[in-house]
Amino acid sequence: MLLPVGFLHASIETGRLRENFDLGWQFHKGDIAIKRAVKAGKQGGLTDANVKVVEGEEAVIAYTDKNKVADYKASDWRNVDLPHDWLIEESFVHDDNISSQPAGNGYLPTGIGFYRKEFAIAAGDAGKKISIEFDGIFRNSTVWVNGHLMGNHKSGYTPSFYDLTDILRYGDEGKNVILVKVDATDTEGWWYEGCGIYRHVWLTKTTPLHVARFGTFVTTPTVAPEKAVVSMKTTIENEYKTTRHFQLVSRILDAVGAVVDTQVVTDSIGPSQSTELSQTGMIRQPKLWSPETPALYRLQTRIIENGIIVDNFETTFGVRTIAITTKGFFLNGKLYPIKGTANHQDFAGVGVALPDKINQYKIKLLKEMGSNGYRSAHNPPTPEVLDICDREGMLVLDENRLLTSTPEGLDELKTLMLRDRNHPSVFMWCLENEESLEGQVTGTRILEKMVETAHQLDPTRPVTAAMNHGWNEGGYSDVLDVVGYNYGQRGMQYVKDHEKYPNRKMFVTESTSYVSTRGEYEDNHEKGYVSNFGKGVGWGLQPGQDWKHVVLYPYLSGTFVWTGFDYRGEPTPYRWPCVSSHFGIMDLCGFPKDGYYGYKAAWTDQPLVHVFPHWNWPGKEGKLIKFRGYSNCEEVEILVNGKSVGKKKLSAFEYFEWDLIYMPGKLEVRGYKNGKQVARQIRETTGTASRLTAKADTLSLKADGCDVAIINIEIKDAKGRVVPTADNLIKFSIEGNGRIIGTGNGNPSSHEPDKADRRKAFNGLCQVLVQSDRQAGKIKLKATSETLEGTEVTLTVHE
């Protein structure tokens, strides 16, 4: 069927139109016997709108000498919107013989899939340059348009780009068809990576005289309180057959859209040529970008020909200075240790196909914990994550996937850097993670070429590598601007190296790998649960203890904890029935584990005290129970049923422990500073589960078919207290202008489907994701359980 190409992101008058191309695709799971090249013409089969439709029988793929026709059976395809991850819809498989799959012996089987879309291009667009960009396809994608093979892109993490100008049909020439084959049978990492077109797709229309793809580079070489110098480099392409004379007008706009500087240059460019033009602007009394004050500016780049704007290209940037020295990391001239987390890109309910809103939700949760740094481990992030980090204020360690100096590998690195180098949030490039060639001469030669490439593309940011060995062998570290230490606390390696190499700049690229299962307080191998009293996994520190090292040794510059959230795959230390990791400070839904409060105590000034476990232990009355806690207070006091059992002085960044005799009732913990109570927590023995409550992160959604409400469900007793062991099955129903796109509960051993209308709670909590339609109205979500009082949430969907 014929569908609109998408939503407009710029007015037609600007000469550039960037359209979201996510809507109205069809998906076919499984391979199709389509040859590498398909003859273009009126009978191009799956890659042509004038396809022979086969219904009521098996789809037939027929090839003849005259025509290569792939018959199209519509019932074999289903309608989907992007982003889309088909792997999250699969069932888990338990196979002890498969150890290389993303979840060890409990994995979701990958495979091959096809995406197809029919679309129209207006007759008035003839003569324009029209291209399509896929932000991310996992993986090994092949694209045909109107029967023409456009190309292949292997990486699942970098964008792919195709110029469609010559092979499109315009106006009455007919409909266009794009076909995308996705072969995800090979992995790139050892974690869950998904399958499909899991990031956004964009259709861009420009005149033949235009700013090139990734065609601007904005830096601030001089920053002072009274002014900031802005360096602007613009690459312009002329795809006309004649020389063109033009003006390049570069305007700097502040956050409210006021023009603060304008620079103009007049030039000409020959046919089929490109040129880079440099301009220098100025911002007076600049507002500096930081995680606390994420001030942004926009560079509006206009190409004007004969008084007409033929292209308008916008670049968001920030004014800030960064420096990693032997004394630490400095932001805007001040020592600024980075409180970071490393993160994979999946989430409960949706796999890797995250709507923008969920990415924003994850960044929000990290900032609430006190984090100011985000490491995209171990691959380039989705572009919207960087946009969010720019807006919300989060420093990003932007990570390349592999250590390689092959032409293909260097192209991947170039694409990453050209795409991301204008983001003020990006403070450093990470070229590799824990490669086996670290510390070896061969690895050094490869790394040297990568570093050279990185410095050519961006001389303003340092480069590092996240190393777990070989820091002092083979000249490997000498090639880097900053030496990254993964678990350098082993043998206090980074302290010894600082003494031996005092001029070495250092960063803790990965620290704690603490494993725990939310709400669990005993190891359970059978269920695959890890106690929150655990000792970690042997190569990491306890929550918060890693920050103590950064405070003691500021030359370490900061840290990235492994990880901010649980993620699918890499279950450690247990295998089946585990299908997700336990490393997260928060679980797969973003529900905090107990260790979360160790970091919040270390990273924020907000007085807090947090103890665990809960106070529900039937059958253990009168017995000793070990309690552990985190606090940034000077001392804590514990009261059981109103009676104090004593106070304890606390050590900074260390947990405290207490053995208490369990008696049902109330456990109260008080935190003191300078002898004054500044924090308090109460844990009570709850009654039986009685009712459900729901809390949405928002009650207002946009009618764009993309916006999402994250709704967290709690199981409570009659007095409104969360029952910490409840696991009731909860069913969801929805009415109105929206749909359920996923559910989750944070249980790393749950094999329930993510795409469903029901989910068991895990230790009192579960989650449902609701996405709006493209019409204004109301959405009513109801949550029910057989023995519990239900609840409902009403969302308003606005134009």
The rounded distance, in Å, linking the Cα atoms of 318 and 288 is 7
Q: What average pLDDT score do residues 378-397 get? A: 98
Closest listed residue to residue 338, CA positions, set 447, 428, 417, 222? 428
Length of the chain counted residue by residue: 799
- Angle at alpha carbon of residue 77, lines to 72 and 79, rounded to 5°: 130
User: How confident is residue 575, by pLDDT bands cut at 50, 70 and 90?
Assistant: confident
pLDDT for res 63: 34
> Is pLDDT of 611 > 80?
yes
- Do residues 742 and 350 make contact, with C-beta atoms less than 8 angstroms apart? yes
CATH 2.60.40.10 maps onto the chain at 209-317, 617-684, 691-798
* Tens of pLDDT, residues 670-692: 999 999 999 999 999 999 999 99
Query: DSSP secondary structure string, 558-612?
Result: EEEEE-SB--BS---S--TT--B-S--SB-TT--B-TTHHHHHHHH--S--EEEE
Query: What is the domain class of 209-317 according to CATH?
Result: mainly beta
What pLDDT does 7 receive? Answer: 30
712-740 per-position pLDDT tens digit: 999 999 999 999 999 999 999 999 999 99
**pLDDT score, position 61:** 40
Q: Going by DSSP bridges, is the β-strand pair 93-94/463-467 parallel, antiparallel, or unpaired?
A: unpaired
Residues annotated as part of the active site: 434, 510
Q: To the nearest whole number, what is the mean pLDDT of the chain?
A: 92
Q: What is the pLDDT of residues 212-245, one digit of tens each?
A: 999 999 999 999 999 999 999 999 999 999 999 9
Q: What's the pLDDT score for residue 65?
A: 34
Residue intervals in the chain for CATH 3.20.20.80: 329-603
User: What local confidence, expressed as pLDDT, does residue 534 receive?
Assistant: 81
CA 498 – CA 481 distance, rounded (Å): 15
Instruction: Look up residue 348 and give its two tokens.
Output: 């409960």
φ, ψ for residue 754 (rounded to 5)? Answer: -75, -30
pLDDT at 30 over 60: yes
In the chain, where does the domain assigned CATH 2.60.120.260 lie?
A: 7-205
pLDDT at residue 38 greater than cutoff 70: no
Write the pLDDT tens digit of every residue in 401-442: 999 999 999 999 999 999 999 999 999 999 999 999 999 999
Contacts of 305 (CB under 8 A, 6+ apart): 209, 244, 245, 246, 247
Percent of the chain with pLDDT over 70: 92
- 691-798: CATH topology is Immunoglobulin-like (2.60.40)
* Cα–Cα distance measured from residue 513 to residue 114, given in angstroms and rounded to the nearest whole number: 38
Q: Specify whether domain 7-205 bears CATH 3.30.2310.20.
A: no
The domain 617-684 is placed in CATH, from the list 2.60.40.10, 2.40.110.10, 3.40.50.970, 3.50.50.60, at: 2.60.40.10
Tokens representing 555 are 């030359």
Strand (E) or helix (H) holding 256: none
Cite the DSSP H helix spans in 155-265.
none
Name the CATH code of domain 329-603 (choices 1.10.300.10, 3.30.70.20, 3.40.50.300, 3.20.20.80): 3.20.20.80
Residues 6+ apart with CB under 8 A from 77: 26, 27, 28, 116
